[in-house]
């Protein structure tokens, strides 16, 4: 094979797994195409405050890598994009069609100055802030976003919605003076110093030819509405683990101040509920979500750092702390920070007089336990990203009954898929923490490099 | 208090009887405690609901001395929230049945307040009487 | 074809036939107003008042099975009002249907006929929601219960276990809420809306029963309810009895959902504690 494209790699998903794999491959001299759904890269790690067990600032350890990706001469980054189709060529390479959604901003002209975002008059719920905070209709996910270019949320944009209404005849075509009607707002376009707002922008489709694919589409969390007995999706002061991270994060909507979403008060009694939806074959997911025991210990300790006179409780069934330094980490929470661990799965959470009543148990002391909490954090089950099964289907990679990717050999080759040239990494395979994700990503990258190296060597033999 | 566990007790007639009457695989219960967390009558129980099934799992026959199965209201809250699908109300019934078969069965009616018997909906009286008493 | 479009076999149960005749009478009255014919199943007997929770106990299914067989003979599905009767009949039917060897043993014993599982056991709430629709209920409202903050109390046996009762989600039930909305009332959800009133502990552990029922009442009260609406005569009895020590003015009234319907339909004589005058409060 002398086709140079066959040593270009595609990395699907630009969380820490995808980023690691892409950098390993790119730094070895090969070209990498990255495709990411969100407007910028970083995945869930970008939402975290600190990481366990080191309590490193998540942004601080990740930003050097995201910046490197953004500048790397060997990486072509397509964000706000999705894989539309994958075709295996006779040569063995893959022809991939990528759809880039209309952002209504010309990223070539945009300098990332941020005036549009600052001046946009309208705010909406931010998925990134997970119910804790809002964003503007024209937005970047964070100030450190890579690329630091905004997109417009068309569904909530006054200009685009009113423009569509006028064009569809739902709104009058002329105004009261008889002039052609103009859409509402448009503040960003008026203020942009480089005229980068592009109201007529469409989705664009491009094709890439690649010789290997790494799938690292990551995870999501079980929707809160699946836990009505805990007030999930209904009680404002019952939040999930990622939402609590946004409360803790210095760059978050409360600048790192832990407050109740309902009234902004500082909570003095916080209850953490592990296994919210996990290990629950009857009504949730049957598997253990692996990371919650550690991140709850982390969040309880960070809460105590911020609110030293607060009390944290953790309801657990088991404490699973098998990683390096993990047992010691949890022990620190219990012994040095006074976090009270209660062994019992919470039955119900309801509101009473502005607080939350948590009905749990402590099987170790043979007591049913009731706590009046100011804030409840549910460690909700880790599930695959909703788009993972579809993307896997395009690549011919099977998923298991829980929607996680199936390895070629779960025991001996976890980052191989059963499809030639397609490799898998990270939480898309199953719940896992950052060190394991990075290790698998490097493993997948090594497999890609090995494949490419063989092709380079074969090509050299041919031409020799 | 120390107990000696051995296969004869763990797989013996007592455990088999509980499992036969309840039609439940007791080992499905991983003692998460959710049943006890949500039980409305736990305040009046000497042992927690999860302890009842734990003792049964280990073949410890002292479980039939507990007041707990008789305080159970069969409200089915435990069963509806059990992550493993264990039907604890059936296990409670199995313990009650074994207790009745072993002890002298007692009829509750003689000890119930007469005016209550007269005014209460008969569904309550029949339901309570059919259960018996330890 | 008669003007009555829908016919159901009706099983009142012992309690509705005697100590809770108001539930029975209001149920029949509102059903008639909705052109639902509730035809009392001839020769019915007590359902047993408790669902047999032990295996190898086919004898205990005879009582509910006889009623199901009688309904089979009449060729109708079976409608109930009492939540416990609904629970016992529905789960007994489910058990016999999924354990054919138990049904065979039962049929060998019972002389009135063979249980064959063709009768569907329904509750009036399910019939209103699924067979009629709330729009039909709304059309019959002559005196909307405007301003009436009513706490829908589901209790335990009406909804659990969800898979067998097939009526509503016990963690987020809506059927009584939606009925109250259709009647023009303001449903007030509360924390203990599906928690136990104490049930038969009334007889075997009255103090525990008092504590449970009081907790339900307090939960409804703190949510701002003016009245509690229920579908079970034992729940009603327990909730009323728990408040006997309170001065009359402080008691939270408890009514059957059929009484709320009667009030809204303008059938005052069956409205019980629900009064349109109260609704104007």
CATH number at residue C195: 3.40.50.11810
Radius of gyration for chain B, computed over Cα atoms and rounded to the nearest angstrom: 16
Beta strands A94-100; A204-210: pairing state: antiparallel
pLDDT of residue A1 exceeding 60? no
Residue C179 located in a structural domain: yes
Whether residue C57 sits in one domain with residue C177: no
The predicted pLDDT at position C1 comes to: 39
State mean pLDDT over B93-119.
Answer: 81
Tell me if C195 and B129 make a contact (CB, 8 A cut-off): no
Whether residue B45 sits in one domain with residue B80: yes
pLDDT of A256-289, one tens digit each? 999 999 999 999 999 999 999 999 999 999 999 9
Rounded to 10°, the helix B13-22/B88-102 angle is 120
What is the CATH number for A298? 3.50.50.60
Whether residue B88 sits in one domain with residue B113: no
Tell me if A229 and C171 make a contact (CB, 8 A cut-off): yes
Instruction: Extract the residue ranges of chain C whose pLDDT is less than 70.
Output: 1-5, 276-281
Residue B34 located in a structural domain: yes
Whether residue A163 sits in one domain with residue A124: yes
The predicted pLDDT at position A178 comes to: 87
C155 close to C230: Cβ distance less than 8 angstroms: yes
Q: Which residue has the higher pLDDT, C248 or B77?
A: B77
Model confidence at B118, pLDDT cuts 50, 70, 90, reads: confident
What is the CATH number for B85? 1.10.1060.10
d(CA A266, CA A247) in angstroms, rounded, equals 11
How many domains are contained in chain A? 3
The predicted pLDDT at position B133 comes to: 73
Whether residue A28 sits in one domain with residue A82: yes
Whether residue C92 sits in one domain with residue C64: yes
**Mutate: best of B85, B108, B124, partner C, most C CBs <10 A:** B124
Whether residue B46 sits in one domain with residue B23: yes
Choose among B61, B53, B62: nearest CA to B93.
B53
CA distance A216 to chain B (A): 30
pLDDT of A69-92, one tens digit each? 999 999 999 999 999 999 999 888
CA distance B5 to chain C (A): 27
User: Looking at chain B, which residue has its C-alpha nearest residue C170?
Assistant: B80
Whether residue A317 sits in one domain with residue A227: yes
Q: Does B9 touch chain A (CB under 8 A)?
A: no
How many domains are contained in chain C? 2
State mean pLDDT over A138-161.
Answer: 96
Q: What is the largest CA-CA distance in chain B?
A: 51
How many domains are contained in chain B? 2
pLDDT, chain A, mean? 95
Task: State which of A328, A353, A382 marks the end of a domain.
Answer: A382
Whether residue A439 sits in one domain with residue A452: yes
The predicted pLDDT at position B124 comes to: 93
- Provide the percentage of residues in chain A whose pLDDT is more than 90: 92
Residue A299 located in a structural domain: yes
Q: Which domain holds residue B121?
A: 106-134
CA distance A229 to chain C (A): 6
Give the tokens for residue A201: 């922008």
Q: What is the DSSP code string of A368-387?
A: EEEEEESEEEEEEPEEE-TT
Residue A196 located in a structural domain: no
pLDDT of residue A2 exceeding 50? no
Residue B60 located in a structural domain: yes
The predicted pLDDT at position C157 comes to: 97
Q: Does B10 touch chain A (CB under 8 A)?
A: no
Residue A272 located in a structural domain: yes
Residue C205 located in a structural domain: yes
The predicted pLDDT at position A425 comes to: 98
d(CA A91, CA B5) in angstroms, rounded, equals 66
Residue A392 located in a structural domain: yes
Choose among A201, A120, A206, A126: nearest CA to A157.
A120
pLDDT of C260-275, one tens digit each? 999 999 999 999 999 7
Q: Does B63 touch chain A (CB under 8 A)?
A: no
Residue C131 located in a structural domain: no
State mean pLDDT over B77-99.
Answer: 96
pLDDT of A426-464, one tens digit each? 999 999 999 999 999 999 999 999 999 998 888 887 776
The predicted pLDDT at position B129 comes to: 86
Residues 6+ apart with CB under 8 A from C204: B70, B108, B128, B131, B133
Whether residue B113 sits in one domain with residue B74: no
Q: Which domain holds residue C236?
A: 141-279
Choose among C230, C94, C237, C92: nearest CA to C173.
C230
The predicted pLDDT at position C276 comes to: 58
Whether residue C178 sits in one domain with residue C254: yes
State mean pLDDT over A142-168.
Answer: 94
Residue C233 located in a structural domain: yes
d(CA B10, CA B19) in angstroms, rounded, equals 12
Residue B29 located in a structural domain: yes
Residues 12-71 of B with CB under 8 A from C: 20-23, 40-41, 43-44, 70-71
Residue B1 located in a structural domain: no
Cβ contacts from B onto C, under 8 A: 134
Whether residue C263 sits in one domain with residue C147: yes
Whether residue B93 sits in one domain with residue B134: no
Rounded to 10°, the helix B13-22/B49-57 angle is 130
d(CA B67, CA B45) in angstroms, rounded, equals 6
Residue C135 located in a structural domain: no
Q: What is the pTM of this model?
A: 0.94
Task: State which of C90, C124, C158 marks the end of a domain.
Answer: C124
pLDDT of B18-60, one tens digit each? 999 999 999 999 999 999 999 999 999 999 999 999 999 999 9
Beta strands A348-352; A355-362: pairing state: antiparallel
CA distance C213 to chain A (A): 18
User: Which three-class secondary structure state does DSSP give residue A360?
Assistant: strand
**Mutate: best of C191, C195, C218, partner A, most A CBs <10 A:** C191
Q: Own/partner pairs for B95-100, CB < 8 Å, 24+ apart?
A: B95/B18, B95/B52, B95/B56, B95/B63, B95/B64, B95/B66, B95/B69, B96/B69, B96/B70, B96/B131, B96/B132, B96/B134, B97/B21, B97/C54, B98/B14, B98/B17, B98/B18, B98/B21, B98/B64, B99/B64, B99/B69, B99/B134, B100/B132, B100/B134
The predicted pLDDT at position C2 comes to: 45
Q: How much is the ipTM here?
A: 0.94
d(CA C64, CA C87) in angstroms, rounded, equals 11
Q: Which domain holds residue A161?
A: 115-191
Q: Which residue has the higher pLDDT, B3 or A358?
A: A358
pLDDT of A173-217, one tens digit each? 888 888 888 899 999 999 999 999 999 999 999 999 999 999 999
d(CA A321, CA A330) in angstroms, rounded, equals 7
Query: H or E element: which one contains C64?
Result: helix C62-74
What is the CATH number for C57? 1.20.1050.140
pLDDT, chain B, mean? 92
Whether residue B86 sits in one domain with residue B29: yes
Give the tokens for residue C166: 């097939």
CA A61 to chain centre: 16
Residue B52 located in a structural domain: yes
d(CA A403, CA A429) in angstroms, rounded, equals 9
Whether residue B16 sits in one domain with residue B82: yes
Q: Does B51 touch chain A (CB under 8 A)?
A: yes
Whether residue A401 sits in one domain with residue A377: no
Whether residue A372 sits in one domain with residue A249: yes
Q: Which of the other chains make 3 or more beta carbon contacts under 8 angstroms with chain C?
A: A, B
Choose among A424, A133, A376: nearest CA to A276.
A376
Q: What is the largest CA-CA distance in chain A?
A: 82
pLDDT of residue B134 exceeding 80? no
State mean pLDDT over A36-63.
Answer: 96
Q: Half-sphere exposure of residue A387, counting CA atoms within 13 Å on the CB side?
A: 14
Backbone angles phi, psi at C160, to 5 degrees: -105, 140
d(CA A63, CA C264) in angstroms, rounded, equals 64
Whether residue B95 sits in one domain with residue B50: yes
């Amino acid at each position: 094979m002398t086709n140079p494209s066959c040593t270009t790699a595609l990395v699907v998903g630009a969380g820490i797994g995808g980023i690691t794999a892409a950098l390993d491959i790119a730094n070895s001299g090969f070209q990498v195409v990255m495709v990411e759904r969100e407007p910028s890269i970083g995945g869930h790690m970008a939402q975290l405050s600190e990481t366990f067990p080191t309590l490193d600032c998540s942004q601080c350890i990740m930003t050097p890598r995201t910046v490197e990706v953004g500048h790397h001469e060997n990486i072509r980054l397509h964000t706000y994009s999705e894989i539309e189709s994958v075709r295996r060529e006779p040569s063995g390479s893959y022809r991939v069609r990528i759809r880039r959604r209309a952002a209504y901003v010309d990223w070539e002209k945009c300098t990332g100055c941020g005036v549009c975002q600052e001046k946009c008059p309208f705010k909406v719920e931010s998925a990134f802030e997970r119910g804790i905070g809002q964003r503007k209709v024209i937005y970047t996910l964070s100030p450190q976003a890579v690329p630091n270019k905004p997109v417009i949320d068309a569904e909530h944009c006054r200009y685009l919605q009113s423009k569509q209404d006028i064009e569809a005849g739902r709104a009058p075509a002329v105004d009261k003076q008889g002039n052609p009607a103009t859409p509402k707002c448009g503040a960003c376009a008026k203020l942009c110093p480089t005229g980068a707002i592009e109201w007529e922008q469409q989705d664009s489709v491009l094709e890439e030819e690649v010789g290997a694919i790494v799938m690292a589409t990551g995870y999501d969390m079980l929707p809160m509405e699946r836990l009505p007995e805990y007030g999930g999706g209904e009680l404002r002061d019952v939040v999930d683990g990622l939402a609590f991270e946004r409360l803790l994060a210095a760059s978050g909507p409360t600048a790192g101040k832990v407050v109740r979403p309902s009234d902004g008060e500082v909570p003095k009694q916080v209850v953490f509920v592990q296994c919210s939806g996990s290990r629950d074959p009857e009504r949730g997911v049957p598997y253990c979500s692996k990371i919650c025991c550690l991140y709850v210990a982390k969040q309880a300790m960070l809460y105590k750092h911020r609110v030293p006179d607060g009390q944290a409780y953790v309801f657990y069934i088991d404490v699973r702390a098998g990683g390096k330094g993990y047992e010691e980490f949890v022990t620190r929470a219990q012994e040095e920070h006074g976090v009270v661990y209660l062994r019992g799965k919470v039955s119900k959470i309801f509101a009473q007089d502005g607080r939350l009543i948590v009905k749990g148990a402590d099987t170790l002391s043979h007591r049913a336990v009731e706590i009046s909490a100011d804030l409840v954090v549910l460690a909700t089950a880790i599930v695959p990203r909703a788009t993972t099964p579809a993307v896997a289907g395009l690549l011919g990679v099977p998923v298991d009954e829980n929607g996680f990717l199936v390895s070629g050999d779960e025991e001996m080759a976890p980052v191989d898929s059963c499809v030639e040239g397609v490799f898998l990494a990270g939480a898309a395979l199953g719940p896992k923490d950052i060190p394991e994700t990075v290790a698998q990503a490097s493993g997948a990258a090594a497999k890609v490099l090995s494949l490419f190296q063989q092709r380079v060597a074969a090509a050299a033999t041919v031409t020799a | 208090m120390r107990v000696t566990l051995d296969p004869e007790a763990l797989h013996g007639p007592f455990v088999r009887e509980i499992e036969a009457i309840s039609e439940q695989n007791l080992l499905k219960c991983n003692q998460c405690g959710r049943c006890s967390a949500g039980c409305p009558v736990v305040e009046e129980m000497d042992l927690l609901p999860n302890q009842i099934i734990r003792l049964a799992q280990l073949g410890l026959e002292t479980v039939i001395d507990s007041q707990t199965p008789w305080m159970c209201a069969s409200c089915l809250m435990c069963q509806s929230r059990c992550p493993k699908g264990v039907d604890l109300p059936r296990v409670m019934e199995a313990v009650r049945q074994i207790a009745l078969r072993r002890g002298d069965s007692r009829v509750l009616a003689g000890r119930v307040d007469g005016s209550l018997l007269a005014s209460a909906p008969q569904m309550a009286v029949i339901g309570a009487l059919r259960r018996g008493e330890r | 074809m008669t003007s009555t479009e829908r016919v159901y076999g009706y099983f009142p149960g012992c309690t509705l036939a005697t100590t809770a005749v108001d539930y029975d009478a209001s149920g029949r009255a509102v059903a008639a107003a909705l052109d639902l014919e509730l035809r009392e199943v001839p020769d019915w007997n007590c359902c047993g008042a408790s669902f047999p929770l032990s295996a190898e106990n086919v004898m205990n299914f005879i009582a509910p099975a006889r009623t199901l067989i009688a309904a089979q003979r009449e060729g109708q599905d079976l409608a109930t009002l009492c939540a416990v009767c609904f629970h016992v009949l529905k789960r007994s039917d489910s058990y016999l249907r999924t354990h054919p060897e138990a049904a065979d043993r039962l049929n060998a014993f019972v002389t009135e006929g063979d249980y064959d599982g063709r009768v569907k056991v329904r509750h009036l709430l399910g019939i209103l929601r699924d067979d009629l629709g709330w729009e039909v209920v709304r059309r019959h409202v002559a005196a909307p219960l405007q301003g009436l903050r009513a706490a829908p109390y589901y209790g335990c046996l009406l909804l659990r276990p969800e898979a067998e009762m097939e009526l509503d989600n016990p963690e987020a039930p809506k059927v009584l809420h939606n009925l109250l909305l259709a009647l023009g009332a303001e449903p007030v959800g509360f924390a203990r809306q599906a928690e136990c009133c104490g049930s038969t502990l009334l007889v075997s552990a009255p103090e525990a029963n008092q504590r449970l029922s009081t907790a339900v009442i307090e939960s409804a009260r703190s949510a701002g309810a003016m009245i509690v609406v229920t579908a079970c005569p034992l729940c009603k009895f327990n909730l009323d009895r728990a408040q006997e020590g309170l001065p009359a003015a402080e008691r939270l009234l408890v009514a059957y959902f059929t009484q709320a319907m009667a009030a809204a339909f303008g059938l005052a004589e069956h409205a019980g504690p629900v009064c349109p005058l109260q609704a104007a409060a």
